[in-house]
Amino acid sequence: MTECLWCGETTAQETEKDCYWIMPDGRRSVQILQVPALGCPSCGSYLSDATNQKVEEHLYMCDLSAYADVFSYEDLLKAPVKNLWGSLSSLPD
């Protein structure tokens, strides 16, 4: 049992959810399976902000060109990090 982030219900449970996501470049949509989620009897199942952010970061940082449009959350975490040296040098710190 865990606490719902939305309504504070204490009977929420950790679960997994299949989610559609638009890649950061907006040109590709992917389905990510088995993303850790919270399931609340009142609110339904949803991702926490932290999980959302983690997915966003990985989609941005990782090279997913070798992946099909459907992959699991675990695969996402194992994806190789893109070589960003070229573009990073132009970003402000």
Decide if 9 contacts 42 (C-beta within 8 A).
Answer: yes
One-letter amino acid identity for 60? Y
Residue 72's alpha-carbon distances to 18, 50, 54, in angstroms, are 8, 17, 14
What is the rounded distance in angstroms from the CA atom of residue 42 to the CA atom of residue 69?
A: 31
Residue 6, interface with Zn ion (CB under 5 A)? yes
By the rule CB under 5 A, 22 interacts with Zn ion = no
> Residue 40 interacts with Zn ion (CB under 5 A)?
yes
Q: Which of 15, 21, 33, 43 binds Zn ion (CB under 5 A)?
A: 43
Q: Which of 10, 13, 29, 42 binds Zn ion (CB under 5 A)?
A: 42
Interacting residues toward Zn ion by CB under 5 A? 4, 6-7, 9, 40, 42-43
